[in-house]
């Protein structure tokens, strides 16, 4: 079969006309030799934290690293429990394991696919130390009840805001609710820094400890400077230059992602068997991903058909508790989180990236409609 179009799942935003400016900015670290943790990293930390509305930003080489040291900074350790959704990327849950703690999985809200505050309450035990809400696809979690539960049980909240650059919940930016919060600058993300992460926090002690932990535990520049067992989680200057470029364009990138989502929703809302994303009241979504729920036909077959016609898609997410290593370590099985499992069989993330045109959206939707129709006919045929 010939592929008439190629619409990948995602393309990072580095337009040709911006490349000379980026290369110019790279000149200084390349010539000075100050290739890591220099002035570009510091500028990025300050500007990003200021944008999110926190006092401090600690830039790192990934969001995985950010989640790990955010938990370490609040003292999560052996024997503790951390409540996380299973509908997330595995890094969210792994962070608890890195600290010797156990991730405890909570169910999702079936409308938003984010962690369900009521089920967080059900999962609290005397060992619970923290909650990690994940703003899936940039759709803010219901932070009011989550913060209330945290206050009631004296728990820490660490937001996993890997998808939520610029997302807003009731007038407040995601990444400013928890004691320490984590963003990703992986190439597919709203801001693509090649690799990268940042912790945003108002807490001076946490910011200081995170700075030491990212830099192999260095507390100063003397011979007796190692104050803790740290890691090499530093962000380098080249990553920071890319992050600054993305940050300078963030308003534009978010506007375009929202426009694409609007195009999709207008075309998908009346298609039987497809549920466009549900966006709650009083929030704004970064639209890191545009996740539909495919109710009437086999999602995997539909995905294959779209792929054959040049349309890249993704699945957010395969539940963490059913990943082979989690089954092996903890004995988890199907049936443990029925809502999460049901949704994971039906969700499909459609292409969304700033360069996408309305015509591209038309192609995705018309192909989707055609394949839904074919699959439904095929299913009726099979039933006879
Ligand atoms: C929800 C979530 N948390 C954390 C991460 C980890 O981010 P990174 O790749 O920057 O380590 C990702 C990456 O895809 C993610 O989707």
Instruction: Note whether 364 and 274 are within 8 A (CB).
Output: no
Q: List all residues whose CB is within 6 A of at least one atom of ligand 1.
A: 62-64, 88-89, 91-92, 134, 160, 162-163, 184, 186, 197
Q: Which atom of ligand 1 is nearest to the CA of 136?
A: 1
| 131 Cα distance to chain centroid | 16
| The pLDDT value given to residue 305 | 98
- Tokens linked to 158: 């660490």
List, for residues 257-291, the tens digit of each pLDDT value: 999 999 999 999 989 999 999 998 999 999 999 99
Q: Is 90 exceeded by the pLDDT of residue 4? A: no
Q: Which pLDDT value is given to residue 377? A: 85
pLDDT at 384 (0 to 100)? 42
**141 Cα: distance to centroid of ligand 1 (angstroms):** 16
Question: Both tokens of residue 227?
Answer: 């104050």
Pocket-testing residue among 67, 71, 91, ligand 1, by greatest number of atoms within 8 A of Cβ: 91
DSSP 285-339: ---S-EEEEE-SS-HHHHHHHHHHTTB--B-S---GGGSHHHHHHH---TTSSHH
Residue 382: the pLDDT is 60
> Ligand 1: which atom is nearest the Cα of residue 134?
1
Query: Shortest CA distance to 129 belongs to which of 163, 168, 95?
Result: 95
Q: Residue 18 Cα, ligand 1 centroid: separation in angstroms?
A: 26
Distance 163 CA to ligand 1 centre (A): 8
Which of ligand 1's atoms lies nearest the C-alpha of 197? 10
Could you give the domains of the chain? Answer: 16-248 (3.40.640.10), 250-383 (3.90.1150.10)
User: Residue 375: pLDDT above 50?
Assistant: yes
Q: What is the pLDDT of residue 136?
A: 98
* Active-site hit among 189, 256, 293, 305: 189
Query: Can 259 be counted among the known catalytic residues?
Result: no
Residue 3 Cα to ligand 1 midpoint, Å, equals: 31
- Residue scoring higher pLDDT (223 or 268): 268
Q: Are 44 and 65 in contact (CB under 8 A)?
A: no
pLDDT at 1: 54
Give the number of other CB atoms < 10 A from CB of residue 79.
10
CB atoms within 10 A of CB 152: 10
pTM passes above 0.85: yes
253 pLDDT more than 60: yes
The pLDDT value recorded for residue 222 is: 84
Q: What is the mean pLDDT of the chain?
A: 96
For atom 16 of ligand 1, which residue has the closest CA?
89
User: Given the DSSP bridges, would you call strands 156-157 and 128-131 parallel, antiparallel or unpaired?
Assistant: parallel
Cβ count within 10 A of residue 248: 13
Distance 316 CA to ligand 1 centre (A): 12
pLDDT at residue 187 tops 70: yes
């Amino acid at each position: 079969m010939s592929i008439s179009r190629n619409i990948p799942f995602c393309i990072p935003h580095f337009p040709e006309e911006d490349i000379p400016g980026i290369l110019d900015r790279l000149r200084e670290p390349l010539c000075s030799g100050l290739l890591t943790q220099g002035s570009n990293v510091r500028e990025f930390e300050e500007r990003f934290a200021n944008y999110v509305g926190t006092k401090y930003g600690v830039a790192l080489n990934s969001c995985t690293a950010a989640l790990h040291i955010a938990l370490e900074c609040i003292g999560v350790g052996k024997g503790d429990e951390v409540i996380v959704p299973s509908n997330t990327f595995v890094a969210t849950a792994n962070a608890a394991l890195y600290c010797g703690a156990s991730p405890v999985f909570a169910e999702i809200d079936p409308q938003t696919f984010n962690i369900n505050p009521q089920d967080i309450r059900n999962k609290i035990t005397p060992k619970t130390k923290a909650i990690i809400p994940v703003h899936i696809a940039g759709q803010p979690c219901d932070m009011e009840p989550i913060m209330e539960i945290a206050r009631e049980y004296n728990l820490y909240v660490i937001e996993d805001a890997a998808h939520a650059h610029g997302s807003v919940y009731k007038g407040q930016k995601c990444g400013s609710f928890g004691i320490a919060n984590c963003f990703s600058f992986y190439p597919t993300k709203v801001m693509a820094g090649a690799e990268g992460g940042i912790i945003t926090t108002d807490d001076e002690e946490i910011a200081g400890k995170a700075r030491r932990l990212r830099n192999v535990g260095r507390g100063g520049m003397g011979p007796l400077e190692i104050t803790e067992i740290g890691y090499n989680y530093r962000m380098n200057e080249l990553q920071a230059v890319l992050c600054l470029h993305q940050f300078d364009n963030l308003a534009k990138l978010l506007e375009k992602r929202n426009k694409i989502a609007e195009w999709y929703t207008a075309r998908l809302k009346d298609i039987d068997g497809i549920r466009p994303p549900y966006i709650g009241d009083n929030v704004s979504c970064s639209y890191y991903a545009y996740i539909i729920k495919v109710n009437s036909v086999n999602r995997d077959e539909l995905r294959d058909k779209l792929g054959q016609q040049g349309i890249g898609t993704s699945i957010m997410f395969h539940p963490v508790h059913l990943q082979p290593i989690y089954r092996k370590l903890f004995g988890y099985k199907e049936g443990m989180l029925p809502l999460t499992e049901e949704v994971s069989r039906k969700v499909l993330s459609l292409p969304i990236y700033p360069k996408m045109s309305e015509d591209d959206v038309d192609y995705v939707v018309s192909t989707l409609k055609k394949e839904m129709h074919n699959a439904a006919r095929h299913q009726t045929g099979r039933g006879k």
